[in-house]
Structure 1
Amino acid sequence: MRLKGKTALVTAAGQGIGQAAVLALAAEGATVWATDVNAKLLASYEGVANVKALPLDVLDKAAIGKVIDSMPAIDVLFNCAGVVHNGSALESTDADLDFAFNLNVRAQVWAIQAALPRMLKSGGGSIINMASVCSSIKGLPNRFVYGTTKAAVIGMTKCVAADFVAQGIRCNAIAPGTVDTPSLHDRINANADPEAARKAFVARQPMGRLAQAHEIVPIVVYLASDESVFATGQVFSIDGGMTI
């Protein structure tokens, strides 16, 4: 029970990596507040020990603050919510940029701003941000908006880490490769040829397969735990060899 006594908040917890993270954190003894904009997706947590599920729209700054203020404590924040846009710089619109920056970056900033005062008051905490290998780490075709916003997440992560490194706050990011999630399925099925689209996603993974959500979350548990007490300002790539 590496996380016994800790309380965590996870956004986008209804499915995919967020859901896998909630279950993994709870299995290690944490009390986990699992949030998602889609309340129906949270029904799967009914009866799950150590998990409190509640709806949250992370595009609502006041709602984020209200949830965090209502928690008995917050030791771990996992900013998992995000969105992927397709297209190059020439195909991206201002609306795409606005929405992606709001969800991929600003929502994380708001959660951090709400959580930090309580973490500082209690003597420390661990903030884990969802970045991506598609960011300042690696450029991928047709991911201009996504890669730009995820690069911003990495910069934000390092700045928060630098500002609070002497006050018990650790801030790190994870950078997955392509993960087999419902969100990916939706994007694949939106293509004229879904089978070809899936093959293309697999082809860019050197291991020859997509990651599973449960293969990503052990690093989340590690960063949430005291085992990572000396790690801050880092980006942990879990990408199946994309950045070798």
Structure 2
Amino acid sequence: MRLAGKRAFVTGGKQGIGRGIVEAFLAEGAAVTTCGRGPQPDDLPENAIWHTLDVSDPDAVAKIVWTIGGTDILVNNAGVQVEKTVVDSTDEDWNLVMGVNARGVFNCCRAFIPHMPSGSAIINIGSISGTVADPSMALYNASKAFVHGLTRSIAVDHGPDIRCNAICPGWIETGMLDAGFDLADDPARAKQDALARHAVRRFGKPADIAAMAVWLASDEAGFATGQLFTVDGGMTAASPLNPGLF
């Protein structure tokens, strides 16, 4: 029960990585509040509290902070993806992706930090895409690079009271992963090639990211702040050569 007695607020907890973090935090004893843009999902754990929230709306975020009265752990997980190059991206695409992935993280950090006690932790969900660009993901890649930079700034500006780190997942088994492979001329072959580039020979699962989030939220990570923790099954450790061919 590493998070017993702590309050946690997790954005984007309906499914995928966010849901994995919600469930892991509950199992470790935290009181968890989560949110999403739609109504409460039917399968939400009964001991988690749900709020419908668009994190890109600063007024709505400020209202949530006032409603719940602060938190000890903030996880900025909410994210969206648009599969386009720069020239194909529209103003609407910009507003959606940057609004949720970049401004949403900024909104939540700005609103919650004044109401987080000393010893609190912020965990931002970045991505390996913020460091190495996935094709046809221009806005998504850029939004995650913003998250990485903001993470470092918060750690520097608000330490020692608040620790702030980012988890940079690789390819995790969610709807976003399938959408990325659908861009390929041969999705099945692209997926096979991608698996060969993972040292662990599998894609990640939400639980893999949740395990890192639990550690970063706990007192065990008391000396970790301002860092980007890559959790990608060894994919970015390899050279461009496909290890499956050797």
TM-score normalised according to structure 2 size: 0.88
Please state whether the residue corresponding to 2:127 is helix, strand or coil.
coil
1:212 to 205, 212, 218: 205
Deviations 1:50-107 (A, max 9, x none): x112221212221111112211440000000111222333333333233221111101
Please state whether the residue corresponding to 1:173 is helix, strand or coil.
strand
The answer to whether the 8 Å contact 2:124/2:147 transfers is yes
Please state whether the residue corresponding to 2:54 is helix, strand or coil.
coil
Q: Match for 1:235: what amino acid?
A: L
Q: Does the C-alpha gap of structure 1 residues 123 and 152 become closer, same or farther in structure 2, counting only changes over 3 Å?
A: same
Which residue matches 1:156? 150
Task: Specify every segment of 5 or more residues in structure 1 that has no aligned partner in the other structure, as ranges.
Answer: none
Which residue matches 2:228? 235
Give the RMSD, CA atoms, in angstroms: 2.1
Which residue matches 1:27? 27
Q: Does the C-alpha gap of structure 1 residues 133 and 2 become closer, same or farther in structure 2, counting only changes over 3 Å?
A: same
The answer to whether the 8 Å contact 1:4/1:30 transfers is yes
Identical-pair percentage: 37
Deviations 1:91-134 (A, max 9, x none): 33333233221111101000001100111xx3241111111001
Separation of aligned partners in 1, 2:33 and 2:184: 35
Please state whether the residue corresponding to 1:179 is helix, strand or coil.
coil
Separation of aligned partners in 2, 1:28 and 1:87: 39
2:87 to 84, 87, 90: 90
Q: 1:238: how far off?
A: 0.1
The answer to whether the 8 Å contact 1:128/1:223 transfers is yes
Q: Tell me how many residue pairs correspond in the alignment.
A: 237
Deviations 1:9-37 (A, max 9, x none): 00110000000000000100000002111
Which residue matches 2:13? 13
Q: 1:202: how far off?
A: 3.5
Q: Does the C-alpha gap of structure 1 residues 8 and 214 become closer, same or farther in structure 2, counting only changes over 3 Å?
A: same
Which residue matches 1:77? 74
Please state whether the residue corresponding to 1:87 is helix, strand or coil.
coil
Separation of aligned partners in 1, 2:56 and 2:111: 14
The answer to whether the 8 Å contact 2:35/2:51 transfers is yes
The answer to whether the 8 Å contact 1:8/1:75 transfers is yes
The answer to whether the 8 Å contact 2:83/2:180 transfers is no
Q: Does the C-alpha gap of structure 1 residues 183 and 140 become closer, same or farther in structure 2, counting only changes over 3 Å?
A: closer
Q: Does the C-alpha gap of structure 1 residues 15 and 201 become closer, same or farther in structure 2, counting only changes over 3 Å?
A: farther
Which residue matches 2:137? 143
Which residue matches 1:177? 170
Which residue matches 2:44? 45
The answer to whether the 8 Å contact 1:100/1:146 transfers is yes
